[in-house]
Amino acid sequence: MQEQPPPGPPWDLPVSRAPLAFVDLEMTGLDAARDRVVEICVERVVGGERVAGVCTLIDPGERVGGAAHVHGIDADQVAGAPTFAAVAGEVLAALDGAILVAHAASWDVRFLTAECDRAGLRLEQTFWLDTLAMARRAFAFHSYSLDALCHELHIDRGRAHRAESDVRAMRVLFDRCVAQLAPVSARDLWEVRVGERRARQAIVDACEAAAKHGAPVVITYRAARRAPEPLMMVVLEVRSDLDPPHVVGYQLPGRGRRELRADRILRVEPPPIPT
């Protein structure tokens, strides 16, 4: 299996131009082998605009009442709803050529794969973006559940644990993470790999460029368990022989030496122009 998304679109497009498929599912339980999807929302978005998608309750055909205490979806609500097989074509069309985005995305991919298998279809999703990982890098909170993030970031939660409102909240969360991380491409966001000590290549490149030209830059850094902190620095070198790479320089105005882990750098920007 490839270690990273294939080159070219959609992964090497700017985030504002990449087709993104925001996905949320409600299920009868947590076992993809025996539990079923009871609600799905997929919104295909380009440049912040919804261009396609499907949001509907799903008749699972079995285990209907499972997890109703979480999402409130019971047998009466799914009566007359389509089966997953009936909407699978619309789901795959919304996902086709797009980057799947979800919160704790591996769960959604696992259930989508299982439901497509039951419908005799194949889901081609090897890589995706996870707003959970992005939020863990961008913000310093005690919890990173969608509920907690909406509370901390003052995002309208709507009806929690329902697919359409969860997607709506997730899209706002995604935009907040993008604002913090300032990615150059969708691939740059995929490289946000919390816990893997992996530095984003765009960050390493920006720091190497800063070391080459010698002018001050503003590095937004988030140390462990701390909020993001902007640092005015002159970068002297990037220690790519270390894992992860370290960025070495001095901080202005005091010229104190700093050595930063590149995987904890959120963005690198020119200093503000004095007014």
Do residues 250 and 260 lie in contact, with contact meaning Cβ atoms separated by under 8 Å? no
Burial of 156 (0-12, 13-18, 19+ CB in 10 A): exposed
Distance of CA 159 to the CA centre of its chain: 21
Q: What is the pLDDT of residue 80?
A: 86
Question: CA–CA separation, 222 vs 202, rounded Å?
Answer: 17
Looking at residue 227, the DSSP 8-state letter turns out to be -
Q: What is the pLDDT of residue 242?
A: 96
Mean pLDDT of the chain, nearest integer: 93
The pair phi, psi for residue 74, each rounded to 5°, is -120, -175
The pair phi, psi for residue 223, each rounded to 5°, is -70, 165
Q: How many residues does the chain have?
A: 275
Yes or no: domain 20-189 corresponds to CATH 3.30.420.10 = yes
Q: What is the pLDDT of residue 262?
A: 98
Is the predicted pLDDT of residue 43 greater than 90, yes or no?
yes
Residues 6+ apart with CB under 8 A from 241: none
Q: What is the dihedral of CA 178, 184, 186, 192, to 10 degrees?
A: -70
Is the predicted pLDDT of residue 163 greater than 70, yes or no?
yes
Can you list the alpha helix ranges (DSSP code H) found in the chain? Answer: 68-71, 75-78, 84-95, 105-118, 131-138, 146-153, 163-181, 186-190, 201-213
Q: What is the 3-state secondary structure (H, E, C) of 108-143?
A: HHHHHHHHHHHCCCCCCCCCCEEHHHHHHHHCCCCC
The tens digit of pLDDT for each residue in 77-102 reads 888 899 999 999 999 999 999 999 99
Looking at residue 157, the DSSP 8-state letter turns out to be -
The pair phi, psi for residue 109, each rounded to 5°, is -65, -40
Residues 6+ apart with CB under 8 A from 79: 59
pLDDT bin (cut points 50, 70, 90) of residue 1 is very low
Question: CA–CA separation, 67 vs 56, rounded Å?
Answer: 17
For the chain, what are the domain ranges?
20-189, 201-269
The tens digit of pLDDT for each residue in 208-219 reads 999 999 999 999
The tens digit of pLDDT for each residue in 173-199 reads 999 999 999 999 999 999 998 888 899
Sheet containing strand 265-269, strands side by side: 256-261, 246-251, 229-239, 217-221, 265-269
Looking at residue 262, the DSSP 8-state letter turns out to be G
Q: What is the pLDDT of residue 218?
A: 98
